[in-house]
Amino acid sequence: MRARSEAAERLENEGTLPREELVQLLTECDDPTLERLRGAARRTTLGRFGDGIYVRGLIEIGNVCRNDCLYCGIRRSNREAERYRLTSDEILGCCERGYALGLRTFVLQGGEDPSLGDGPLAELIAEIRRRWPDCAVTLSLGERSEASYERLFRAGATRYLLRHETADPELYAALHPGMSHARRLECLAALQRIGYQTGMGMMVGVPGQNAGTLADDLLLMERFRPEMIGIGPFLPQRQTPLGDAPAGSLRLTLLLLAILRLMHPAALIPATTALATLAPEGRNLGILSGANVVMPNLSPPAERKKYVLYDHKAAFGCEAAEGLAALDRELHAIGRRIDYGRGDYRG
Ligand code: SAH
């Protein structure tokens, strides 16, 4: 008990903890300690960012994927997934709609589609930057070559989300057939070298994970110092091999958000769609644990239903770009508001 609250205090003051104390916090954190850490994370966030919550328009540009990640509904082996690809014009249409709604960051996310060539993608990014020069383009398109990352950066994309998924190389290999943890980290290093604001993160509660691997996740991110950190609960998708596994825990996700905020005071940390899907109050609870970003869905409504990484995805209401007014009302209820700025990282 005493050890726990001392660890919490040290994390608040020093922004880091040795591995064994992280493991202890993750396994034995009692409710008062959790609330204390969430309070400290909340104060840190308010001190850095004030009451504003950044919004990013999420455009799910396609669900064709060459990978076979065991947890993911758009994995290549899922024959039941209804595949789609948005055209450049459709994506530009999303941006236009999003810009009118006040969004100033567009996140292009999708599966690793081998037909998504550098040329057309670079052209699309450049066109977005030409039409809306005050907007940022974030990519979340998985592993590509360093030359590709470089070309897309030169075209005008300045941020890249590539969750490391797990710091444990063996668990990584088990969850991602044919992929390697070393290559994942090489991609992240390349993104950082090129100058992207880079996002890392992991799911909470994916089968095979434990407090030790989570502590290693925290330490890996401490080493890489990403500008953005995305975490959310694992949620089963019934057409995948992990379809019967239990969802990740809300409590552990909130604890990790608080720890991450204390370790990375300036990072941009979303209350993810997965968190909002897990629990009705998930988004607000995430924000009250140190998150400061929300990513409303800006995909065409018909495609939102096909981009099924996990079942029951929240993609309408406050999780949708057309629901920004409702989102703002919900944020006001917890003393926050939407910040319509681009929200670049300021270290
Ligand atoms: N293909 C891109 C984008 C992946 S989707 C890439 O590889 O980076 C974005 C994130 O969704 C993934 O990084 C993963 O952590 C998360 N995700 C996938 N399936 C999920 C599931 N079943 N439950 C919760 N999160 C999931």
Q: What is residue 2's predicted lDDT score, i.e. its pLDDT?
A: 62
**Amino acid (1-letter code) at residue 129:** R
DSSP string, 188-230: HHHHHHHT-EEEE-BEES-TT--HHHHHHHHHHHHHH--SEE-
The pLDDT tens digits of the residues spanning 123-145 come to 999 999 999 999 999 999 999 99
Contact 230, 260 (CB under 8 A): no
Cα separation, 270 vs 325, whole angstroms: 18
Mutate to test the pocket of ligand 1, among 58, 203, 311 (most ligand atoms within 8 A of CB): 203
Q: How many helices and strands (H and E) does the chain possess?
A: 14, 11
User: What is the whole-number distance in angstroms between the Cα of residue 72 and the centre of ligand 1?
Assistant: 7
Write b or e for each residue in 181-202: b if 16 or more Cβ atoms lie within 10 A of its Cβ, otherwise e. Answer: beebbebbebbbebebbbbbbb
Helices 250-263 and 211-224: crossing angle, nearest 10°?
30
Q: What is residue 5's predicted lDDT score, i.e. its pLDDT?
A: 80
Residues lining ligand 1, Cβ inside 6 A: 71-72, 109, 111-112, 140-142, 162-163, 165, 203, 232, 234-235, 237, 274, 309-310
What SS3 class is residue 261?
Answer: helix
List the chain residues with pLDDT less than 50: none
User: What is the whole-number distance in angstroms between the Cα of residue 2 and the centre of ligand 1?
Assistant: 37
| Atom in ligand 1 nearest the alpha carbon of residue 202 | 15
Which pTM does this prediction carry? 0.98
Mutate to test the pocket of ligand 1, among 72, 191, 229 (most ligand atoms within 8 A of CB): 72
